[in-house]
Amino acid sequence: MALLARMDADDESLPGRMACQRQFMLDHLEVDILGTACHEIDEHGTYLQLKTMPLTHRRIVDTLPRSNPLNHPTVMLRRRVFESGLRYREDVRRTEDYHLWISAARRGFVFANLEEPLLNFRRDSTFFQRRGGWRQACADLHVRFRAMVELRLFSPINLLWALAAFGLRIMPATVQQWLYLRLR
């Protein structure tokens, strides 16, 4: 069984992460892409909050038009996902993983998330500045519309979520941060 795990260079896998995810993949052969919850920490390692995600395949796919339902640095996936020809898109910026999940869902790959946080995700002081602005807002709106269209999940509520996320991205970083901490 060939598995690939990823994380960002500034994040920290927690003890047992690989063994826990590997065991889950051994026990659930139908699951192709597995994420986990994570702890968000600041650049000094201070705990900020727990970031959880939907757990089941159906909930993960249903969430795609509204938000990215996987903590990307926590993902472990089967090699067959990439052997199928799926790749991270090079023509998008900061939404490469989100687009990959949509393509994987469209092709029938199965997702899951573990409830247990198995990674410390570093959220530095420039996190919200990097994830805001017109370019990011347009990229996010595009990926959400793609999810609605390609996965046939268009609905008024999903449209409202996409437009609200667009509005959030064009707000000043300080407002984004304040809302992020209160709406989670």
Q: What are the backbone angles phi and psi of residue 48, rounded to the nearest 5°?
A: -110, -50
Cβ atoms of 40 and 123 closer than 8 Å: yes
- pTM for this structure? 0.88
Per-residue pLDDT for the chain (184 aa), expressed as one digit of tens each? 799 999 888 889 999 999 999 999 999 999 999 999 999 998 888 898 899 999 999 999 999 999 999 999 999 999 999 999 999 988 887 889 999 999 999 999 999 999 999 999 987 666 655 666 788 888 999 999 999 999 999 999 999 999 988 988 887 877 777 766 666 6
- CATH class of this structure's domain 3-183: alpha beta
With 0-12 / 13-18 / 19 or more C-beta atoms within 10 angstroms meaning exposed / middle / buried, residue 16 is: exposed
Q: Is the dihedral of CA 74, 79, 80, 85 positive or negative?
A: positive
Tokens encoding 174 = 């300080």
Domain definitions of the chain by residue range: 3-183
